[in-house]
Amino acid sequence: MPIEAPPTEVAAVIVQAPRLPPLAGEAAFSVETFDAKALSRSPRLDVALKRSPGVSLFRRTGSDAANPTIQGLSLRAVAPSGAGRALVTLDGAPQNDPFGGWVIWSALPGEGLDGAAVIRGAGAGPYGAGALTGVVALREAGARDGLSALSVSAGGRGSYRAAAALGTQNLLVVASGSSSDGYVPVRGARAGAADTPTTLSDAAISARLQGGLGQADWAVRLGAYEERRGAGLVGARSIASGGSLTLTAARAPSDEAAGWRVQAWLRSSDLKNTSVAVGAGRALTTPANDQYATPALGYGVNAAWQARSGPWSWELGADFRAAEGEVRERFRLMNGAFTRGRIAGGETLVGGAYAEAVYDGGDLLVTGGARIDGWRSSEAVRRERDLASGAVLLDLKPADNSGTTPTARFGLRHRLTGDTWLRGAAYAGFRPPSLNELHRPFRVGNDVTEANSGLTPETLYGAEAGFSGEGVLSWNLSVFYNRLDDPITNVTIGFGPGTFPTAGFIPAGGVLRQRRNAGQIEAWGIEADVSAELGAALTARAALSAVKAEVDGGASAAQLTGKRPAQTPEITITAGADWRASERLTLALDLRYEGERFEDDLNSRKLAPALGVDLRADWRVSAATEVYLAAENLLDAEIEVGETADGVESFTAPRLVRIGVSIRR
């Protein structure tokens, strides 16, 4: 009987999304990379990225509890704002909301990603508008037959989550959903009947269909999401929903032929958000406003052409983005009913062209690029009516605003010896105001923030220098200087109780603020990180970000001069270790310490320093499957995230223990 030959082992075919590779010049800038495993270690992508100490979440609040309007991030702690000052892209397509610039992180589950690059410093060149403090460039996972990734977990406070990525060689489908009974942000004796948990229920799905066309690849990606939240106060809640469509065609460059990418994208979103006023002693709440719809539509195109010859490579490109939207709300409660209605909104657009070139001689790399953008905010309207009679009480049509902004970036990297490098960079970037900042007033408790249709773009200028080394011990040390001109800041202009033009009545203990371009912010900083392989089974890492930032409010906000920007910590330290205790068991420890920050622009509400500790144990069942036990905020620390004008503090989540199973092929 003949002996049968052993079956031939066939490698899995993984088809990546069509994209252009970044130019080699990225190495001259401060870049941190995350692989797929690092992104999926936390159920929330923004929390996973927070392992980088330069990443700042507004009010220290992750997307497990943050209102959609503050789900952005900023880099280098340069004045974090609600929408964030960093651009987030997925294979080149912007992921920031068309109305507010925030990012709905639940729509981007880590199971569907192949990795991410965090590029610190203003992202002129191929990234363009919005990349003020940097870029988070996400890469979607490749398509393959069968199941690519699966995560299922359950934990305390009624928290459940499931996410999966699966498909064929030409189709990738990613779906996720989670729910949580949440936690009460205000604790102890200060909490009252007004305080309730920050509940959450979310779901997202996306599908990418792709194929080949000659030497090029094409892809069509569709996505949708919805999340429902309780805001931690009786009657305060939000519903965020939206969808996206991206069409991409690309050909990777080679030594024989240039590469190119053409991409068109569309994003729609809607936000329903109710706010309440908090009564004395936090005994009750009363409705303050009902933003029952915030429909918005964003769309854009981008194109790039990339070539190389010997040590030289270059890229030429252009992009265009437009957004339109409005907030529709009811407000001014009298005798148990809202008496006024408001519609406020408009349109924005920005478009530009760029050129960037790189010389990579091995030991010496030099890169430079410039771009020019035109921007416009137009069709602004703010109309208020009496709901009973329909009479128009306010009808504002602010003037259009427009301008042109040039930006550029330059960098070099030089080998000193072996794997030790010296690098330097200088850059400029800008961020136009969002529709949210221009038109949407909002309320948190008794504090009211007014919109400002006259806002102009923020512009950042910066320079940095650094040393780095690679090997068993990898390290990086950088110093930087950033100057942010015309920062959009929530400026305090009044205190309650009192009645103010446009804003109306502000209750006792409340503060009235308005978004304004307020002078300058200067920031000097140090970044350092080190990672080491301490034997075959142990790796350790540590990183530091120290930033000294100060506001010069100028004539528009002189009261802010000499103050630290709101929500800006002076020091952040992260550290961690992974220990492979056996062939099957791996233990991972992560720590994050953050110095004090101020809740408000006047530096009157101080948030105490905070230390968070996370621990995770993974038991490997097979090459692709792990069972894990994770504890978030292991020490149950009271990490302060907010403080009201009358001194009531709120905190992030207490300790949460989760158990789950993870499959990644």
pTM of the full structure: 0.91
For β-strands 364-386 and 458-469, DSSP reports them as: unpaired
Cβ distance 588 to 581 under 8 Å?
A: no
Longest dimension (CA), the chain: 98
Q: Report which residue type is found at 419.
A: D
For β-strands 458-469 and 473-485, DSSP reports them as: antiparallel
Q: Is the peptide bond before 497 cis (omega within 30 degrees of 0)?
A: yes
E runs forming strands in 60-145:
73-75, 87-90, 93-94, 113-120, 134-140
Q: Quick one: which of 58, 63, 69, 66 has its CA closest to 43?
A: 63
- Model pLDDT, residue 512: 86
Question: Tokens in use for 439?
Answer: 């038109």
pLDDT along the chain (665 residues), means of 10: 47 80 88 86 85 75 82 72 78 93 92 91 79 89 92 95 95 96 90 93 97 92 96 93 97 89 97 90 90 96 94 95 95 89 95 96 94 95 93 91 94 94 94 90 78 90 93 91 89 80 75 86 92 91 92 85 88 93 94 90 90 95 94 93 85 94 92
Kindly list the distances between the CA atom of residue 240 and the CA atoms of 37, 100, 106, 254, 406, in Å, as whole numbers in the listed order. Answer: 28, 12, 11, 43, 35
Half-sphere exposure at residue 426, Cβ-oriented, CA atoms within 13 angstroms:
1
- Model pLDDT, residue 556: 77
DSSP-derived letter for residue 43 is S
Cβ distance 335 to 43 under 8 Å?
A: no
Question: Tokens in use for 33?
Answer: 């990379």
Question: Tokens in use for 1?
Answer: 């009987």
Question: Tokens in use for 285?
Answer: 């709440």
Cα 505 to Cα 330: distance, rounded to the nearest angstrom: 15
Domains and CATH numbers, the chain: 24-664 (2.40.170.20)
Kindly list the distances between the CA atom of residue 279 and the CA atoms of 24, 191, 285, 286, 557, in Å, as whole numbers in the listed order. Answer: 58, 12, 6, 8, 31
Cα 288 to Cα 328: distance, rounded to the nearest angstrom: 14
Half-sphere exposure at residue 528, Cβ-oriented, CA atoms within 13 angstroms:
7
Half-sphere exposure at residue 492, Cβ-oriented, CA atoms within 13 angstroms:
19
Cα 63 to Cα 227: distance, rounded to the nearest angstrom: 11
DSSP symbols for 534-575: -SSSEEEEEEEEEEEEEEE-TTTTGGGTTPPPTT--SEEEEE
Question: Tokens in use for 596?
Answer: 């004090």
Q: Quick one: which of 133, 136, 126 has its CA closest to 20?
A: 126
- Model pLDDT, residue 79: 59
DSSP-derived letter for residue 645 is T
* Residues 595, 50, 524, 431, CA torsion sign: negative
Question: What secondary structure, in 3-state letters, does 586-626 show?
Answer: EEEEEEEEECCEECCCCCCCEECCEEEEEEEEEEECCCCEE
Cα 130 to Cα 434: distance, rounded to the nearest angstrom: 10
- Model pLDDT, residue 522: 92
Cα 293 to Cα 290: distance, rounded to the nearest angstrom: 9
**Phi, psi for residue 47 in degrees, rounded to 5:** -70, -40
Question: Tokens in use for 186?
Answer: 């205000």
Cα 96 to Cα 68: distance, rounded to the nearest angstrom: 11
- Model pLDDT, residue 1: 42
Cβ distance 271 to 69 under 8 Å?
A: yes
- Model pLDDT, residue 124: 67
Cα 264 to Cα 221: distance, rounded to the nearest angstrom: 11
Cα 177 to Cα 199: distance, rounded to the nearest angstrom: 14
- Beta-bridge partner residues of 278: 285
User: Scanning the structure block, which residue is given the tokens 């060149």?
Assistant: 125
Helix runs in 440-544, H state only = none
What is the H or E stretch that residue 85 is in? Answer: none
- Beta-bridge partner residues of 551: 521
Helix runs in 389-474, H state only = 435-439
Please give the span between the terminal C-alpha atoms of the chain, in angstroms, as a whole number. Answer: 38
Cβ distance 569 to 594 under 8 Å?
A: yes
Q: Is the peptide bond before 654 cis (omega within 30 degrees of 0)?
A: no
What is the H or E stretch that residue 439 is in? Answer: helix 435-439
- Model pLDDT, residue 8: 46
Helices (H) and strands (E) in the chain, counts: 3, 41
Cα 286 to Cα 236: distance, rounded to the nearest angstrom: 10
Question: Tokens in use for 466?
Answer: 């650094």
Cβ distance 607 to 643 under 8 Å?
A: yes
Cβ distance 302 to 319 under 8 Å?
A: yes
